[in-house]
C-alpha cells in the first residue's frame, strides 16, 4: 500500500487496471444537486411572481422571463453535454487526457507535468510542473493561483480518493 492509502474499494479496483487506459466519467449525483436546487428556486420564484405577472407590461415581462429562461437554457445545454458522458478523464501510462466534449476542448497532461495531487474539503487540485505557457498563465501563476490547478469534478470519487488515485497512478507510471 502506498503512503496515500487507505483507499476505497473503487480506487483499489481502478488501480488494478494500471497500465490502462481507464476512462472515468462524472458522477451524476454531483450534477443533480445544482439542477434540483435551481428547479426549486425557479418554481418558488414563479409561485411568488404569479399574482404580479398579470399586472406587468410586456417589456417588464420580457425582462422577468429573460431572468428565468436564460439560466434554464444554460442548464439544459449543460445537461445535454453531461448526458453524453462528458467531461471524461482517461488515465494511461503516459499521462491523463481530459475531454470536455466530443467536438471541443481536449487536453493532455503528462505525469511528469503534474506533480502532487491534493485535496481540500471537497476540492481536488494538482501542482502544475510545466513552465508557463502564455501571458495569462504567467499572470495566473504570479498573482492568482500559483502552480495549482483545480479539478472541478472528481469523477464519482471523493476529493481525497481522487487525489489518492491520481498520486498512486502517477507513482506507478513514473516508476516504469
Q: Pick from 67, 83, 99: which residue ends a domain?
A: 83
Helix (H) or strand (E) holding 35: helix 28-53
Please report the pLDDT score of residue 54 as a whole number: 79
pLDDT digits (tens, 9 = 90+) for 128-142: 777 888 888 788 778
Q: Is residue 5 part of a domain?
A: no
Q: Are 117 and 161 in contact (CB under 8 A)?
A: no
Residue span of the structural domain in which 36 resides: 30-83
Quick one: 79 and 90 in the same domain?
A: no
- Give how far Cα 151 sits from Cα of 15, 19, 114, Å: 20, 23, 12
Q: What is the pTM of this model?
A: 0.67
Residue written as grid cell 451524476 = 28
Q: Which residues pair with 124 in a beta bridge?
A: 119, 151
**Domains of the chain: total:** 2
- What is each CA distance from 123 to 35, 44, 52, 80, in whole angstroms? 20, 30, 42, 24
- Both 163 and 130 in one domain: the answer is yes
- Do 58 and 143 reside in the same domain of the chain? no
> What pLDDT sits at residue 102?
66
Do 156 and 75 lie in one domain? The reply is no
CA–CA separation, 124 vs 141, rounded Å? 18
Verify that 99 and 48 share a domain, yes or no.
no
The DSSP code for 13 is: H
CATH number of the domain at 18, please: 2.30.29
5, 95, 142, 156, 170 from 91: Cα distances, Å: 19, 6, 30, 15, 9
Whether 2 maps to a domain, the answer reads: no
CB within 8 Å of 90: residues ≥ 6 apart = 20, 21, 22, 23, 24, 96, 97, 98, 99
**Whether residue 165 sits in one domain with residue 91:** yes
Report the pLDDT value the prediction gives residue 30, as an integer from 0 to 100.
66
> Do 14 and 101 sit in the same domain of this protein?
yes
Instruction: State how far the Cα of 99 lies from the Cα of 102, in Å rounded to an integer.
Output: 7
Residues of the chain with pLDDT under 70: 1-7, 28-31, 79-86, 101-105
Residues 37 and 22 in one domain: no
Beta bridge partners of 99: 88, 106
pLDDT in tens, 24-56: 887 766 667 777 777 888 888 888 878 887 788
For position 1, what pLDDT does the model report?
46
Tally Cβ neighbours within 10 Å of residue 67.
12
Does residue 1 lie within any of the structural domains? no
Amino acid at each position: 500500500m502506498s503512503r496515500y492509502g487507505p483507499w476505497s474499494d473503487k480506487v483499489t479496483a481502478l488501480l488494478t487496471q494500471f497500465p490502462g487506459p481507464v476512462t472515468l466519467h462524472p458522477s451524476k449525483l454531483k450534477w443533480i444537486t445544482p439542477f434540483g436546487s435551481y428547479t426549486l428556486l425557479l418554481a418558488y420564484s414563479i409561485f411568488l411572481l404569479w399574482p404580479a405577472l398579470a399586472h406587468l407590461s410586456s417589456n417588464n415581462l420580457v425582462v422577468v422571463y429573460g431572468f428565468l429562461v436564460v439560466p434554464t437554457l444554460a442548464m439544459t445545454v449543460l445537461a445535454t453535454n453531461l448526458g453524453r458522458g462528458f467531461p471524461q478523464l482517461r488515465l494511461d501510462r503516459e499521462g491523463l487526457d481530459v475531454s470536455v466534449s466530443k467536438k471541443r476542448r481536449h487536453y493532455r497532461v503528462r505525469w511528469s507535468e503534474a506533480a502532487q495531487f491534493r485535496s481540500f474539503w471537497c476540492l481536488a487540485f494538482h501542482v502544475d510542473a510545466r513552465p508557463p505557457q502564455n501571458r495569462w498563465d504567467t499572470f495566473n501563476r504570479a498573482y492568482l493561483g500559483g502552480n495549482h490547478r483545480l479539478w472541478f469534478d472528481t469523477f464519482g470519487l471523493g476529493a481525497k480518493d481522487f487525489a489518492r488515485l491520481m498520486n498512486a497512478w502517477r507513482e506507478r507510471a513514473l516508476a516504469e
